[in-house]
Amino acid sequence: MTLPVGCFFAPRSFLHLGILYIASSLRKAGHDVKVFDCHALTEWDAKNQKLIIHKEKLEECDVVGISATTANCEWGKMLAKAWPAKYKVLGGTHATYILDGPHERFKKPHYFENFDYIMTQECEESFVSFCDAVDKGIEPRNKLLPAIPSLHWFFGDKHCQTEKGPQPDVTKLPIPAFDLWPGGFGGGGLSVVSNTAGVINLNEAMTASLFNVRGCPFGCNFCADRRTKIREETYEQVEAQCKMLAELGVTCIRIQDDVLTIKAAHCRRVSDILHSYGMKWRGNTRVNLTDPTLFKYMEQHGCIELGFGCEHGSDMMLKLMGKGTVAAKNTEGIKMCQEAGMVAKAFLMIGFPGETWETVREMERWVLAAKPNMVAVCLFQPFPGSDVWNHPENYGVTLPENAFDRFWQQGLDDDPRALVLDLPSMTKAELIAARKEFGEFIDTNVGHRDRTRVDAGTPGLGTFGSSSMDAV
């Protein structure tokens, strides 16, 4: 689900791939499966600041699985309470990094209210085992030989769990059930409005997302996916996904891999597959994984945009973040992408511990010098699983209680509730002012933050959001 401020116009272009992988595995195992886009089941009452759930759209079922991120987990709890299902199960990154994480004080039932079970880690196989047990009339926590892995529940205040299972072999998984995504795919996921790149109007082009590699070996201190094993799907799987999406009318692809260019040969092969289906596409990478020859090859095979996790223009902040890069390298990556003929998008972050007015000024100077075509500005949040979450004492911060519904990275620019940390280097009032000023700086000097819808060539009519909550 998206941020409740009315600034995101097309959240459905960011479908939840994890849900579609699980739906496909369930279907392969013989279960009846239906996928729900939770945007269609709810709406946000901005005046009264509350979520409205259309209960008449909630279908009775044996098991409902809801995947939620940290910021919308509270909404997931509300949806679970209303859903007429025998078993209500929560999964996703938030549940995983809380229940498999180091802080016992967050492993409390009120954080998972209205859910019968919680499943952690990747659940393509374990959720199938859960549903198999339900079909056989077995209470899931009582299933033995083997037990359902990575299953959690509460008896009163007591947290109970089975042993963590291995991650699935991605080369053996069925491709995501794109055909089960309700209502088709939205457009505009690759549209661009930029002061330097001009207008790329793909507003009516059906856009979908695709994974072909899971994991990231790098150690950014703000990221929960840090130092995780690279696991590649086969080229046959990638081609099967492209084929299905093309048959469904999709012409644009957002590749969601963390580091698309980490293996040049693999990236070239994926580029070939996408190009063979006539796809326009974008991806993400790091500025230390740049290669002008590879970039040109990607551009010639349909890639129109690369996003770089630049994060900051201050070398001091980049060091604190554990990026392993410097501002000059950020500039080099941006320029190399532009010289290859692609739009260069910089992901920047404000409010990481150590931020000061001077580092914000450094970031502004970097933007003016590097001239990225697009910029997404995120407020740092101490997401569960990140090093800041795991070891807050190393960063001079304290993790707040009962604040997950305020862990929004974008939007709410003037709302102090979005600032969940007290930084030792800036007051909250200073950070609010700096965040607002920097956002307006980007709007003026680069173009509207994040991705702007193109309507008759007019910029500034809305932006995309990417925080998902969906159900299967």
- pLDDT score, position 451: 56
- Residue 206's nearest CA partner among 187, 178, 226, 230 is 187
- pLDDT score, position 414: 73
- Residue 279's nearest CA partner among 270, 289, 287, 288 is 270
Share of residues in the chain with pLDDT > 70 (%): 92
What are the distances in angstroms from CA 190 to CA 153, 202, 205, 464?
Answer: 41, 6, 8, 10
Q: Give CA–CA dist 66/34, Å, rounded.
A: 12
Q: Give CA–CA dist 228/214, Å, rounded.
A: 8
- pLDDT score, position 201: 87
pLDDT at 258 over 90: yes
Q: Give CA–CA dist 14/466, Å, rounded.
A: 6
Question: Is the bond leading into 292 cis (omega within 30 degrees of zero)?
Answer: no
119 and 100 Cβ atoms separated by less than 8 Å: no
pLDDT at 4 over 80: no
- Residue 420's nearest CA partner among 460, 391, 392 is 392
Q: Give CA–CA dist 347/29, Å, rounded.
A: 40
pTM of the full structure: 0.92
> How many Cβ atoms are within 10 Å of 443's Cβ, its own excluded?
17
Q: Give residue 24's identity as a one-letter amino acid code.
A: S
For the chain, the farthest-separated pair of C-alpha atoms sits apart, in whole angstroms, at 64
What are the distances in angstroms from CA 395 to CA 142, 386, 434?
Answer: 42, 12, 20
Question: Which residues does 260 contact at the CB level (< 8 Å), separation at least 6?
Answer: 213, 267, 270, 283, 284, 285, 306
- Residue 118's nearest CA partner among 94, 136, 135 is 94
Residue 161 burial by CB count (10 A; 0-12/13-18/19+): exposed, middle or buried? middle
Question: For the segment 152-209, what is each residue's pLDDT rounded down to a tens digit?
Answer: 999 999 999 999 999 999 999 999 999 999 878 888 888 888 888 888 888 889 999 9
24 and 175 Cβ atoms separated by less than 8 Å: yes
**Which residue spans within 198-273 are E strands per DSSP?**
198-200, 207-210, 213-214, 231-232, 252-255
Q: Give CA–CA dist 314/235, Å, rounded.
A: 39
193 and 448 Cβ atoms separated by less than 8 Å: yes
- Residue 129's nearest CA partner among 146, 142, 152, 148 is 148
> How many Cβ atoms are within 10 Å of 48's Cβ, its own excluded?
8
Sign of CA dihedral 27, 231, 216, 337: negative
Query: Among all chains, which residue has been given the structure tokens 């080229």?
Result: 235
Q: Give residue 261's identity as a one-letter amino acid code.
A: T
- pLDDT score, position 191: 85
pLDDT at 14 over 80: no
420 and 400 Cβ atoms separated by less than 8 Å: yes
| pLDDT (average), residues 275-302 | 97
Query: Among all chains, which residue has been given the structure tokens 């239906």?
Result: 34
Strand partners, 311: 348
| Inter-axis angle of helices 327-339 and 357-370, nearest 10 | 30
Q: Give CA–CA dist 199/69, Å, rounded.
A: 32
Question: For the segment 31-76, what is each residue's pLDDT rounded down to a tens digit?
Answer: 999 999 888 888 888 788 788 999 999 999 999 999 988 988 998 9
- pLDDT score, position 1: 36
Provide φ and ψ at 163, rounded to 5°.
Answer: -65, 145
Pairing state between β 343-350 and 374-379 = parallel
> What is the pLDDT confidence band of residue 10, given thresholds at 50, 70 and 90?
low
Question: For the segment 352-376, what is each residue's pLDDT rounded down to a tens digit?
Answer: 999 999 999 999 999 999 999 999 9
Mean of the per-residue pLDDT values for the chain? 90
Query: Among all chains, which residue has been given the structure tokens 């994890």?
Result: 18
pLDDT at 462 over 80: no
Provide φ and ψ at 346, rounded to 5°.
Answer: -105, 125
Q: Give CA–CA dist 472/36, Å, rounded.
A: 6
Residue 37 in tokens: 């886009």
Residue 81 in tokens: 């309470």
